[in-house]
Amino acid sequence: MSQISYRSTRDEGQLVSSAEAIVKGIAQGGGLFVPDKMPKLTKDLQGLMDLDYKQLAYEILSLFLTDFKEEELKQCINSAYDEKFDTPVIAPVNKKGNKYFLELFHGPTLAFKDMALSILPYLLKTAAKKLNIDKEIVILAATSGDTGKAALEGFADVDGIKIIVFFPQNGVSEVQRKQMITQTGNNTYVIGIDGNFDDAQSGVKNIFTDEAFKKELANNNHMFSSANSINIGRLVPQVVYYFYVYLQMCKNKEIELGEKINFVVPTGNFGNILAGYYAKELGLPIDQLICASNENKVLFDFLSTGTYDKDRAFILTTSPSMDILISSNLERLLYALSNENVDTVKTLMESLTTKGTYTINEDMKKNLRGFVGGYATEKETEIAIKEVFEETGYVMDTHTAVAYAVHNKYKQNSGDDKKTVVVSTASPYKFTSDVMKSIDPKYSEQNEFSLMEEMEKVSKVSIPKPIKDLDKRPILHKKQCKKGEMKQQVEEILGL
């Protein structure tokens, strides 16, 4: 098997192992770690067909994490994908009408982030042990709603690790907020900020790249790492479920082995759809990756024009996990589009920082083939939820509804009738108010928690255990701060 090392998107300098990349989280100078070469499948798709999720995870992850021993990697996988998921299938495919919904919300926090954040703590602890690191690892995370809870759940009470999560105080659903502020664990810290997700994400990246602060940390026996999808250990586990859904569709005779299909992915920070791109690069027969945005359509505009422009109004929508104007993982795609030219990437990212915008060249635009952008308005999202429920009885969350609506428009405009998987990223129970009032306006006056029982009746799906009686749990995290005070909060928590 070919050894895979990792380098920064902004610097051709020293290569690092996957263990080092996972522990560091972000490269020096603010770049993101990427494989020095894309690995190749060692088995053909037929040879992967009868594997369960854990077995498939090993086959895929072993291609990227070549410095992990077989027993180390299998231990991480078996610890992650266990009874904490409410289905042994881990990532079931649900066919409704002519759409295939890949349900990624059966983990402990009811969102797709569980697919990677269930394994990241084990990868991180194993990596730290391999590197003989004896410092306390401080996980810093910014969240638009789902990463925070999934990271807190994964790292709670893990020895040798503290986790600090920043979230936009007024930019998440009430269920998302309550999931975070009731989180148990002596090593967990949750702080609401007075800005949006981009403010939280920028604040975290600024702390990560503060060299003087990192030296102070080291002198006090601490080091930073990340749970956001900027961490390569968060990204590569997401490649697995693209293979898994494809192979399940083959087994169920929905497609022929080798047949190309499309994926439509509700997208904010670009990590989930980038994992699909990596799957395609590995050889999975994907035709179009359809990037679905809500009214914060910065990615749609980029894919349509080649210009990324973050200087625009920030819109609070009913799909808050996609309310993002700075899509961090897009940097990894820029690296690929530029034929791995770190100078090009560095110039583009500097332009984004100083001018709020950049434009890729014509060659990079040509390399964008295989990506399609689309967006759904709030009204279109609402209509999609109602339409799918009335036609099939299936209840989908607001983010999945954005993807569904975008695919309908794409199909109408393009005539492309390939089998398409809608990547369903969250349980509708996380967004009960917006989902239920989309189904029927009579639910508009009820709060999110009382509506859970109504959703249970109409969906015929039981209220998931992780959020049953969530509104009755004690609030354990009450800290709030201004967006410019994030570093100060970290210093206070660490006693610096």
pLDDT computed for residue 98 by the predictor:
87
- Residue 374 has a CB neighbour count (10 Å cut-off) of 24
Q: Kindly tell me if the per-residue pLDDT of 308 is higher than 70.
A: yes
Q: Which of 100-104, 145-149, 434-438 has the lowest mean pLDDT?
A: 145-149
Length of the chain: 496
Read off the pLDDT of residues 384-439 as tens digits, 9 standing for 90 and up: 999 999 999 999 999 999 999 999 999 999 999 999 999 999 999 999 999 999 99
Q: What is the mean pLDDT of residues 282-295?
A: 98
Per-residue pLDDT band for 195 (boundaries 50, 70, 90) equals very high
Residue of 264, 232, 229 whose CA lies nearest to 245: 264
The mean pLDDT of the chain is 95
Q: Kindly tell me if the per-residue pLDDT of 39 is higher than 70.
A: yes
pLDDT computed for residue 228 by the predictor:
85
Residue of 261, 267, 232 whose CA lies nearest to 245: 261
- Please tell me the distance from the alpha carbon of residue 111 to that of residue 107, in angstroms, as a whole number: 7
Residue of 321, 390, 384, 386 whose CA lies nearest to 110: 321
Q: What is the mean pLDDT of residues 130-157?
A: 93
- DSSP H stretches of helix in 101-227: 114-117, 120-130, 146-155, 174-181, 197-208, 211-219
**Tokens of residue 60, six digits:** 């895929």
> Who's near 146: CB < 8 A, 6+ residues apart?
109, 111, 112, 113, 176, 321, 425, 426, 430
Q: Which residues pair with 189 in a beta bridge?
A: 164
* Percent of the chain predicted with pLDDT > 90: 93
Q: Locate tokens 């409704």: which residue?
A: 96
Residue of 444, 407, 429, 483 whose CA lies nearest to 195: 483
- Please tell me the distance from the alpha carbon of residue 423 to that of residue 407, in angstroms, as a whole number: 11
Which DSSP letter does residue 476 get? -
Read off the pLDDT of residues 371-384 as tens digits, 9 standing for 90 and up: 999 999 999 999 99
pLDDT computed for residue 1 by the predictor:
62
Domains of the chain: 93-110+235-463 (3.40.50.1100)
Q: What is the mean pLDDT of residues 266-270?
A: 94
Per-residue pLDDT band for 145 (boundaries 50, 70, 90) equals confident
∠ CA 239-6-221, nearest 5°, is 105
- Please tell me the distance from the alpha carbon of residue 433 to that of residue 443, in angstroms, as a whole number: 7
- Residue 447 has a CB neighbour count (10 Å cut-off) of 11
Q: Kindly tell me if the per-residue pLDDT of 144 is higher than 90.
A: no
Q: What is the mean pLDDT of residues 299-322?
A: 96
**Tokens of residue 115, six digits:** 């697919």
DSSP H or E segment with residue 18: helix 18-24
| Secondary structure class of 47 (helix, strand, coil) | helix
Q: What is the mean pLDDT of residues 251-278?
A: 97
pLDDT computed for residue 12 by the predictor:
85
Measure the CA dihedral 188/192/198/204, to 10°.
Answer: -40
Do 142 and 204 touch, CB atoms closer than 8 A? yes
Per-residue pLDDT band for 14 (boundaries 50, 70, 90) equals confident
Q: What is the mean pLDDT of residues 37-66?
A: 96
Read off the pLDDT of residues 438-476 as tens digits, 9 standing for 90 and up: 999 999 989 999 999 999 999 999 999 999 999 999 999
